[in-house]
Structures are given as structure tokens and as C-alpha cells.
Structure 1
Amino acid sequence: MPVGAKDVVKSKVEGSIADRMAAAARELQDQSDPHATVKSAVELLVRNVEGCNSASISLVYGKKRVETPAASDDLAATGDRLQEELAQGPALDTLWEQDSVYVPDLAADDRWPTWGPRLTEATGARSVLTFRLFTIKDVIGALSMYSTEVDAFDEEDKAEGLALAAHIALAVLAAQKIDQYESALDSRTLIGQACGVVMERYGVDAVSAFSLLTRLSSTQNVKIRFIAAELLRTRELPTAVSRSDD
């Protein structure tokens, strides 16, 4: 019996990606306790992403030590634990260079020939999609979605996970009492996440969202990454941004 696997087949969640992500973002914002927010985040992933049976948020220190602030169940927690135990897995290497890593078949992926099969044997997990939430010095935040099906995640699942990552990254930073958003999130990720928030809130496409941030940057004479950081911090379009770090 797979450890922590869901016993029911999830039906497709109704509504557009934007609608579902907006509802999920509101639910995260309604949490008053940052640690409760992080726990809610993994539960949201299981509910909102059709291919996801289990999810976790982990902190990886120096490509060696893995901590898991939140996991939806034992399957995801085991996936994180085995990466540290075996010194092998996407959060220990590839994720430091790429924004996301997809393993369509854990039992047959030669990148991590021990971790994948061990995880499948222990939990029944067959595929995993992992996102880098942020990087700060020698620490990264990672968001992992596991499935008990081979090649469970399609492009829509990846888009939904990436959209939620914008909100989850901030929840993790708050829970860990990391306030330096600009240093924790690189500029590319920061701007991408801010575009995601604008898309969800105003129902516009990615091009329009980026154009809006660019226009705010130009009119306020502030670098776009500071506009993005302020939007993610306040959840509102900034009317004035400090240039003290510019």
C-alpha cells in the first residue's frame, strides 16, 4: 500500500486556472499564522493540481541538508527525507541551476538511480514535479508535487504549480522569518511571480501583466524588480516604491 497516497480519484477541479489560483491565493492570505499558511499551501496543491497526490515544501542547505516545514502526508515527507539520506535527488543538485525539475518516472530515471527506485519502493510514488521557490545564500526553498502515476503532470499542471509557487514562496519566507525578499528571490523569479499575481488578480495575460509592471517601473523611475518585490509584499499595485536600494 503506498504510503500516504490518496484513496480516491480526484475529479478535475472546475474553473479556469486564473480562477482557481486566485481562490487559492485568497485562502493563503487569509491565514494569520505563517506556519499554518505553509501547511495550507501543500494541501492546496493536492486539491488544485489534478495530477498531485502528495506535496511538500522543503529547505535545502548547502546541497546537503534537507528540512521539510510542511508535507501533505508521509509520501512527500519520505521523498524529502530520502534525498538527504541518500545524498541524491533533484533538490540537491539540478534544482539549484533550474527553476523546475520534472521526473516522469522515478523508477527509471538515471539522474538519480538510487533515490527514485527507493522512493517508489517505499511509497508507491512514480513521478514528481519540483519548483525552486527562492534562493538565499546557500539555501533554496523547494516545492515538490508527487504522484503515484507515471508521467502524471501535464503542461496545465505545471502552470498551476508555478502560479501557486508565487504565493507559497512568500509564505515560506515569512514562516522562516526571512524578510529580504529581493535577496531571497532572484530578479527573474521575482518578476515572474509578480506577473503571476497580476494575471490572477486582473484576469490579464502574461504580456499585459509584464507591460503593466514595466509601465509602473518607468513612471516611478524604479527598477522593475523593486516594483515586483513591493507588489508581492503588499499584494497591491505599488503607487510609490523606495529607491533606497536602487
Structure 2
Amino acid sequence: MSPSANRDLAGRMAELARAAAGPKSVQDVLSEVTSAAVELIPGIDTAGILLVSRGGRFESLAGTSELPHDLDELQRILDEGPCLAAATGELIVQVDDFRTDARWPAYAAGAMKIGVLSGLSYRLYTSDQTAGALNLFGFEPRAWDEESVMTGSVLAAHAAAALLASRHAEQMHSAVVSRDRIGQAKGIIMERFKVDETAAFELMRRLSQERNTKLADIADRIIDTRSDG
């Protein structure tokens, strides 16, 4: 990578790091990443992020135009394409020219129809529930060089970090809420059956095991019985 390109990338990554550390939402950070990709990588005209849940739900985020969303929808319908391939398996998927790439014929035809001829897709992360990819597209065919691929990889790593941080925050919040609901349910049992905290929790634990239901769900049902009278 040339010295000037290094400086540009370092500067933009510093900006992205400050954005991630500040009060911005994950959506804002991802939008910064896709905008930086268009700004820093020659030949990239539009960019977006695709998330695919285990149940097959597609979520299209941070598009710099409507095109990434259209391409994500096309892949959902056809169940093929470079973004899907990256999200669910390959680390980097490189397409120099959709007119000559035979890997996804139906998708390639659709992409060419709306003016996209090349692209780079990067796997962001894969968890038990969700897979993701950073997807970069060009309106012209292009033999992607090492510098372009490397810059995309750096940006993809930043996007992955933002998504994982958001997921961790959501899990922490969920854990706190579950703990509070379990505590509330224990209080209801203690009041209703005149037992101590240990006995109340043991009753909930046994119900959870017998019904093969999460403890937090048992707590919700107990709380609902109070509102039902």
C-alpha cells in the first residue's frame, strides 16, 4: 500500500474508532464503514452490509445507496450470490466481472441488469444465530489489486467489531432484564406461598426442568399469573 494510501486509511480508521467509542449507534458506525469504503477504495461505487439469521431472515444495513438493498433482496429470492457466500462461508469473495463469472449465473444476470459489474464481499462474523458480510460494488469491471482487498479487509474488521460489541451489549441488557424478572417472580412465590427465597427459587428451577422451559420464561409466566388475578 502506498504511503499516501496508508495515511488516508489510518486517518479514516482513527475517525471510525472515535465514532465507535462515542455515543453513536451501531447503525451509525456501520454507515461510517460503508461510506469509508466508497471513499477509500478505487472502483467502489456503492456499499452495504448484509445480515442473515439462522431462520433465513435477511437484513440489509448501512447502504450508501438503494443498490445494496436491491442486491440483497435479489440474493434472498435466488438464494445465491457473493454476499450470501461471504456471510455464510467464504472469508473474501472477489468478483472482477460479473459478465464472465460463472459462480452465480442468475444473480449475475440481475446484478448486470441494474448496472453492477464487479464487487468485493467480506465475511464479518458468524455466530449461532446470525452471519454477516460487508459488500462493496462497482459499476465497472475491475481486477481488484492487493491494496484494495486489504483496505476492504481492514474496514470489514471494524464493522465486525461494531456488530459484536452491539451484540454483547444486547446480551448484557437481556441478562439484566432476565435477572430482574426472575427476582420479581421469586417475590411473588414468596408472598403467595409463604416460603423463603431459596425455596422460591428451587420451585422455579424445578418447573423449568419439568417443562423444559427457560427459567426466564417461567418467571414471565409467574408474573403474568399475578396480572391475571
Q: Normalising by structure 1, what TM-score?
A: 0.61
CA–CA separation in structure 2 for the residues paired with 1:159 and 1:126: 20
Partner of 1:144, secondary structure, is strand
Please, which of 151, 174, 179 is the counterpart of residue 168 of structure 2?
A: 179
Q: Counterpart of 1:155?
A: 146
Quick check: 2:51–2:59 contact (8 Å CA) kept in 1? Answer: yes
Letter in 2 for 1:85: I
| Structure 1: gaps (5+ residues) | 1-13, 181-246
Partner of 1:129, secondary structure, is strand
Please, which of 96, 103, 106 is the counterpart of residue 95 of structure 2?
A: 103
Q: Counterpart of 2:41?
A: 49
Partner of 1:125, secondary structure, is coil
Please, which of 83, 91, 116 is the counterpart of residue 91 of structure 1?
A: 83
Q: Counterpart of 2:10?
A: 22
Whether 1:60 and 2:52 are equivalent positions in the alignment is yes
Q: Normalising by structure 2, what TM-score?
A: 0.65
Pair 85,39 (structure 1): closer, same or farther in 2 beyond 3 Å: same
CA–CA separation in structure 2 for the residues paired with 1:17 and 1:62: 38
Larger radius of gyration between Structure 1 and Structure 2:
2
Q: CA offsets, 1:91-121, max 9 Å, x none? A: 3345533210111222332211101111110
> 1:105-144 maps to which residues of 2 (within 5 A)?
105-122=97-114, 124-144=115-135
Quick check: 1:43–1:72 contact (8 Å CA) kept in 2? Answer: yes
CA–CA separation in structure 1 for the residues paired with 2:45 and 2:94: 15
What is the aligned residue count? 165
CA–CA separation in structure 1 for the residues paired with 2:133 and 2:85: 12
CA–CA separation in structure 2 for the residues paired with 1:39 and 1:95: 18
Quick check: 1:95–1:131 contact (8 Å CA) kept in 2? Answer: yes
Pair 50,63 (structure 1): closer, same or farther in 2 beyond 3 Å: farther
Partner of 1:170, secondary structure, is helix
Whether 1:145 and 2:136 are equivalent positions in the alignment is yes
Q: CA offsets, 1:142-169, max 9 Å, x none? A: 0011001112522210011111222121
Partner of 2:168, secondary structure, is coil
Partner of 2:105, secondary structure, is coil
Q: CA offsets, 1:6-49, max 9 Å, x none? A: xxxxxxxx853432222111211232312211111111110011
> RMSD over aligned Cα, in angstroms?
2.2
User: By how many angstroms is 1:135 displaced?
Assistant: 0.9
Quick check: 1:78–1:119 contact (8 Å CA) kept in 2? Answer: no
CA–CA separation in structure 2 for the residues paired with 1:17 and 1:165: 17
User: By how many angstroms is 1:74 displaced?
Assistant: 1.6
CA–CA separation in structure 1 for the residues paired with 2:161 and 2:167: 9
Aligned-pair identity (%): 31
